[in-house]
Structure 1
Amino acid sequence: MTDSTGELTAKEIKKRKRRLPPPDPEALPGLVDAHTHLAACGGRTEADVRAILDHAESVGVEQVVTVADDMVDARWAVAAAHWDRRAFAAVGLHPTHAADLDDEARAELEQMVDDPRVVAVGETGLDYYWTTRSDDCADPTTQRDAFAWHIDLAKRSGKALMIHNRDADRDLLDVLAAEGAPETVVMHCFSGDRAIARECVDLGYVLSFSGTVTFNNSGELREAALLTPDEQLLVETDAPFLTPHPYRGQPNQSYCVPYTARALAALRGVDDHELAHTLGANARRIYKFPLR
Structure 2
Amino acid sequence: MSKRHETGHHGGRPPAPDRLPLPVVDNHTHLDISRDGGPLPDLTATIAEASAVGVDRMVQIGCDLDGARFTERVIDEHPQLLGGVALHPNEAPALAERGETDAARAEIERIAQHPRVRVVGETGLDYFRTGPEGVAAQQDSFRWHIDLAKRLGKALQIHDRDSHDDVLRILAEEGAPEHTVLHCFSGDIEMARECVRRGYLLSFAGTVTFKNARELRNALSVVPLDQLLVETDAPYLTPSPHRGATNAPYLVPLTVRAMAAVLNTDVPTLCENLSATSERVYGPWA
TM-score, normalising length: structure 1: 0.88
Map of 2:31 onto structure 1: 38
Residue 27 (structure 2) pairs with residue 55 (structure 1) = no
Q: Residue by residue, what CA displacement relative to the aligned partner does 1:137-156 show, whole Å, maximum 9, x if unpaired?
A: 97000000000000000000
Could you tell which deviates more after superposition, 164-173 or 268-277? 268-277
Q: Residue by residue, what CA displacement relative to the aligned partner does 1:56-111 show, whole Å, maximum 9, x if unpaired?
A: 00000010011112111111011111110001110001100013262222221121
Q: Quick one: structure 1 residues 54 and 236, their matched pair in 2 at CA, closer, same or farther if it must change by over 3 Å?
A: same
Distance 1:53 1:33 in 2: 11
Residue 70 (structure 2) pairs with residue 76 (structure 1) = yes
- Which letter does structure 2 place at the counterpart of 1:19? G
Alignment of 1:217-228 (within 5 A): 217-228=212-223
Distance 1:202 1:56 in 2: 33
Map of 2:232 onto structure 1: 237
The structure having more radius of gyration, on CA atoms, is 1
Q: How many residues matched?
A: 269
TM-score, normalising length: structure 2: 0.90
Q: 1:169 aligns with which of 159, 164, 187?
A: 164
Q: 1:209 aligns with which of 173, 193, 204?
A: 204
Q: Which runs of 4+ in 1 moved over 6 A?
A: none
Map of 2:6 onto structure 1: none
- Which letter does structure 2 place at the counterpart of 1:24? A
Distance 1:126 1:103 in 2: 19
Q: 2:61 aligns with which of 58, 62, 67?
A: 67
Quote the offset at 1:120 in angstroms. Answer: 0.2
Map of 2:17 onto structure 1: 25
Quote the offset at 1:180 in angstroms. Answer: 1.1
Q: 2:258 aligns with which of 250, 260, 263?
A: 263
Distance 1:18 1:182 in 2: 38
Could you tell which deviates more after superposition, 279-288 or 193-202? 279-288
Q: Residue by residue, what CA displacement relative to the aligned partner does 1:247-292 show, whole Å, maximum 9, x if unpaired?
A: 11111000000000000111111111221121111111111234x2
Percent of residue pairs bearing the same amino acid type: 48
Residue 141 (structure 2) pairs with residue 146 (structure 1) = yes
Distance 1:43 1:59 in 2: 23
Alignment of 1:111-122 (within 5 A): 111-122=110-121
Residue 25 of structure 1 aligns to a residue whose secondary structure is coil
Residue 243 of structure 2 aligns to a residue whose secondary structure is coil
Distance 2:107 2:24 in 1: 31
Residue 122 of structure 2 aligns to a residue whose secondary structure is strand
Residue 122 (structure 2) pairs with residue 123 (structure 1) = yes
Distance 2:18 2:102 in 1: 47
8 Å Cα contact 1:95/1:138 also seen in 2: no
Distance 1:282 1:155 in 2: 19
- Which letter does structure 2 place at the counterpart of 1:237? T
Q: Quick one: structure 1 residues 185 and 53, their matched pair in 2 at CA, closer, same or farther if it must change by over 3 Å?
A: same
Unmatched runs of 5 consecutive residues or more in structure 1: 1-16
Could you tell which deviates more after superposition, 122-131 or 262-271? 262-271
8 Å Cα contact 2:92/2:101 also seen in 1: no
8 Å Cα contact 1:78/1:88 also seen in 2: no
Unmatched runs of 5 consecutive residues or more in structure 2: 1-8
- Which letter does structure 2 place at the counterpart of 1:193? D
